[in-house]
Amino acid sequence: MVFRSSVDECKTVKAIINTKFRFAPMKRIPILFFLFVSFISFAQTKPKAGIFYFALGSHVAAYTNSDIHLQSSAQPSFDFVLHNVKARDDKFLQSTGGAVQYDYQFGYYSRKKNFGIEYNFDHVKYFAKHDQIVRTTGTVNGQKVDADLPITTYVQNFEHSNGGNYFLLNFVKWKDLAASKNYKRVLDLFYKAGAGIVLPRTNSTIMNERRDDKYNVAGYVIALEGGLRYNFIKNMFFETSIKGAFANYKHILIANGTGDQHWFSGQFLVMAGFQF
């Protein structure tokens, strides 16, 4: 009986030791694992406080009719206006003169402040249509002109084919519409407001005198834009948007003279980019 009692006591002590020093920690492991997973999940779902991004793309554009004022004191001298001139663009990545029609942007967005700033360049392309009759008023070689004439009567060609070139500084706002649990796929509504300069290189032939040689700061542009941005994997995104702009070209370079015009433009843009 004494022997059995000693054996029983040893088993009891061993059981206590195993319970305190082995089984109790094992019971805590699921709790610790749950807390660890929760922490990792929280870290993954929390969006970055600040995002740098870059995007490249193209667009189609439409322009309102515009008055083109052209003047020169050289011979032949002239100072006339072509009224309500119709124009076209090049459509996405096509090129019928100069570089293809493209756009790029880079910026920084603070999700903490829900506000961003962005530099945006649009290589808009403008071609005055040749097959149109326009009212022409002014003087040519001292003679008064006021008639509906083919545009090519005095202006054989007029285009900003190496770009009307909008340089814009934009203020940006994003609004999350939907997001995956790990925040790697996000659909945002965005809108922008910006202003900047226009830097055209104009290809023109006026009174049979051609010029296409120089970029110059010709005026200013203001724009509003809105669209959708989709982060389809962690660091890449796709976006599409509509932009409206007012561009005022106060100092266009032509052979032996200058010109000016302004227009409203509408653009449909498609871009893809990278963020970090």
Task: Of 19-28, 80-89, 158-167, 264-273, give the lowest mean pLDDT range.
Answer: 19-28
Whole-model pTM above 0.85?
Answer: no
pLDDT of residue 2 exceeding 80: no
For residues 88 and 36, membership in a common domain is answered with no
- Which 8-state DSSP code applies to residue 151? G
pLDDT for 145-171, tens place per residue? 999 999 999 999 999 999 999 999 999
188 and 71: one domain? yes
Pair 66, 114 in one domain: yes
Q: What is the DSSP letter of 142?
A: T
141 and 16 within one domain: no
Q: Residues 113, 228: one domain?
A: yes
Q: How many domains is the chain partitioned into structurally? A: 2
Q: Which domain holds residue 262?
A: 47-275
Are residues 51 and 122 both part of a single domain?
Answer: yes
The number of residues making up the chain comes to 276
CA 243/CA 226 separation, integer angstroms: 7
Q: 35 with 125, same domain?
A: no
Does 65 lie in the same domain as 17?
Answer: no
Helix residue ranges, H only, the chain: 2-18, 24-45
Whether 60 has a pLDDT exceeding 90, the answer reads yes
**CATH number of the domain to which 110 belongs:** 2.40.160.20
What per-residue confidence (pLDDT) applies to 47?
Answer: 57
Query: Is the domain of 146 the same as that of 111?
Result: yes
Q: Does the pLDDT value for residue 7 go beyond 80? A: no
Q: Are 263 and 194 contained in the same domain?
A: yes
- Closest to 106 measured CA to CA, from 119, 117, 96, 91: 119
- 74, burial (CB in 10 Å: exposed 0-12, middle 13-18, buried 19+): exposed
Alpha-carbon gap, residue 225 to 206, rounded angstroms: 35
List, for residues 237-275, the tens digit of each pLDDT value: 999 999 999 999 999 999 999 999 999 999 999 999 999
